[in-house]
Structure 1
């Protein structure tokens, strides 16, 4: 298993796109910070800093594409046969890919968090202190950390679905599209979803509602709309994560090579 993970990481590190996408993310974050600094009368630096200067959004796109590609490309290029010929079990191959994307997602989130902190210190140090209280008796730093944590959990809910779809479809395009659309759909259908949940309370357990975890971590009163406690939403995210990964595992075990 460790050997497989090392091989996946090696392939990831030696892809030109890995470095290029990292550079693009840094450019986006630095460019956003400079723009906000120069147009401080039009933009709120606080919310931009807490959102990682656009880094979280870019990370989402990159990781969804990576999760879909890491499986689909094995079948498209026929390299899955080489792995099976080496007497690796299918389950080992798939889990190694999960672990690789998990490490890759940690890399992106830690990088985004650290760069956002550095940009705040470099360009907006006088705007506020991280130790100052921002909202709900929480400091700016705690709010930022919880925002990143909630985003990471909901990201992995999406990635588990992407892994499943990448195993079902031969092309990674469908998995990428569903992952990205699923993310934006949460904001688009929230109003209607909350109305339906008030009528049929059992709908509160739907996966789209779990995507509101980040909001509820920062604003506990959001539970009046989600109808779930923060603990229930965390558990719900993890349960759906396990379900989608398990279904993906089942499909991968039976997929034709």
Structure 2
């Protein structure tokens, strides 16, 4: 496990993608400010869109991580050196989780800098926001995003193995990021008699990035904070194990 993990970290850190991801995140956060009417406490607690943009960035990187290996014919070498295919898959998953955490940390740092430059002390980090201080709400939202990233990474890896097209997976990620909440709410509203069941649909899971700091979101998701946390983790585990099964089968068949 250690050897596979070190190899994956070495490959990942020696690519330009980690740096590009940070620069893209900063650019998209600035874009969020540019398209917003004004800086508000809500925008600050959302890290100027850092959570949403991190999800999309990670989905793009996750889908490319395995697709690139097959495309460049390096996966065969990796599989030859690895006796346990599940360990190789797990190593890739861990690298993506660690990078997700790094992106969120930088998202928080960028948020502090942007707030200081844009509004100075107009909004104190101790100001109340839905029963939390602004700074606590920011950390809760980023924490919720980290939980959702476990869901999205496992989903991305599974989808790219199923579809074998990282471009398609990225499009699916964009659709989930921008329309997932609306589609989930629409389905629950259309079949209100089944809302206790439909509330557990995968598209509803993205709401965890805002619900932990805003208890009123529970009236939209129809799930408590603890239920939303558990559901995200369960989905992540399910997608992860399906991904491993597909990966092992594909490795055995040697398909590209």
**Same topology, TM > 0.5:** yes
Q: Is the 8 A contact 1:159 1:179 kept in 2?
A: no
1-side partners of 2:215 and 2:40: how far apart?
A: 23
RMSD value, Cα? 2.2
Aligned to 2:164: 170
Aligned to 1:3: 3
Aligned to 2:207: 212
> Which residues in structure 2 correspond to 1:126-205 (within 5 Å)?
126-135=121-130, 137-196=131-190, 198-200=192-194, 201-205=196-200
> Which residues in structure 2 correspond to 1:73-152 (within 5 Å)?
73-135=68-130, 137-152=131-146
Aligned to 1:15: 15
Cα deviation digits, residues 70-120 of structure 1 (max 9, x gap): 111111222111112224311111000000000110110001111211332
Aligned to 1:229: 224
Task: Classify 1:181/1:4 alpha carbon distance in 2 versus 1 (closer, same or farther; 3 Å).
Answer: same
Q: Is the 8 A contact 1:165 1:174 kept in 2?
A: no
How many residues matched? Answer: 251
Shift of 1:4: 1.7
Aligned to 2:41: 46
Q: Is the 8 A contact 1:21 1:62 kept in 2?
A: yes
Cα deviation digits, residues 180-221 of structure 1 (max 9, x gap): 212223233144223145211322221122222233212213
Which of 59, 62, 65 is matched with 1:64 structurally?
59
2-side partners of 1:64 and 1:175: how far apart?
A: 8
Structure 2 runs not aligned, ≥5 long:
none
Structure 1 runs not aligned, ≥5 long:
none
TM-score (structure 1 length as normaliser): 0.88
